[in-house]
A and B are shown apart, each in its own frame.
Chain A
Amino acid sequence: MIPIEHILLLSALLFIIGVLGVMLRRNVIVIFMSIELMLNAVNLSFVTFARSLDSMTGVVFIFFIIVVAAAEAVVGLSIILSIFRTRKTLNIDEFNLLKW
């Protein structure tokens, strides 16, 4: 049996790499991929806790998380698509219409 601390540490590591990707990268699609990576890290800890606690609820929650991630990816990418039509760039620093 795999010790759960190791899996949880892997999940924390993946989450932190996702956080760093959101903060360091400037390409908006790569930022989106980092968000997906963070969602996956959370999924991993859900499965780990579900297995170690003999519960099935965590796995059901992953089902919902994956659906929300798919919906988020679809809507986000279409927003990026329509921003790209007017701005002609993927750099997130150029998307400053709502800034003051």
Chain B
Amino acid sequence: MLTIFYIFAVLSVLGALGVLFLRNPIHCALSLVGTFFCLGAIYVMLNAEFVAVIQVLVYAGAIMVLFLFVLMLLSSKDSEQYVNKWSVGKILAGLLSLGIFIQIAGLFTANELQLGSKGEYPLEVVEEVGSITLIGRLLFTDYILSFEIIAILLLVAVIGAVVIAKRRFQ
């Protein structure tokens, strides 16, 4: 179990580094798809099957296909030459993100991590009832208002995308 987790963790970090360092944006998108698949596998190991399925369907499927579609639509000729250049801004960016990483990692590995009390869905309950049943029950009872708001958000996003991307005739 642990070995499989480490394999998928290393693969997902490699995919993320591909997004950071590959020149061609299409290669970046494909390596991001690999990262999303590895994250889906890790979700399965964490007993969140529903999240794994929508990760693969929505992220690796729908969103990345949309990205690839736009990339192929907008074939831009300008290539990026940033790997060889070392400017002050880039060094500052590296230092800043190193600082953020130290902060987050220190917070996550601190012994006195304040986690609060345990919830009411231990692993046995989740395996007995099924995670999809539990999520659906929560979505349609406790979080029904957020669920409706998210539906309106999707509607607004669809209309907004059509309006923004529409070709304007003079």
Contacts and interface: CB of A to CB of B under 8 A. Distances in A.
Contact of A75 (B115, B119, B134, B160): B160
A57 B138 contact: yes
B119 A56 contact: yes
B161 interface: yes
A78 B167 CA distance: 11
Interface in B59-97: 59, 62-63, 66-67, 70-71, 73-74, 76, 78, 80, 82, 90, 93-94, 96-97
A27 to B, nearest CB: 5
Nearest to A67: B150
B122 A12 contact: no
Bin the interface of chain B by size: 35 or more
A36 B51 CA distance: 16
Contacts of A50: 48, 119
Contact of A60 (B17, B62, B139, B153): B139
A5 B108 CA distance: 7
Contacts of B116: 53
A46 B78 CA distance: 38
Report, as a range, how many residues of chain A touch the other chain. Answer: 35 or more
Chain B CB count within 10 A is highest, among A19, A24, A81, for A24
Interface in A29-70: 29-30, 32-34, 36-37, 40, 43-45, 47-57, 59-60, 62-64, 66-70
Contacts of B58: 66, 70
B20 A25 contact: yes
Contacts of B25: 27, 29-30, 90
Contacts of A7: 5, 42, 46
Interface in A1-19: 1-2, 5-19
A24 B74 contact: no
7 tightest A-B contacts by CB? A55-B119, A71-B157, A78-B165, A23-B93, A8-B108, A17-B16, A78-B161
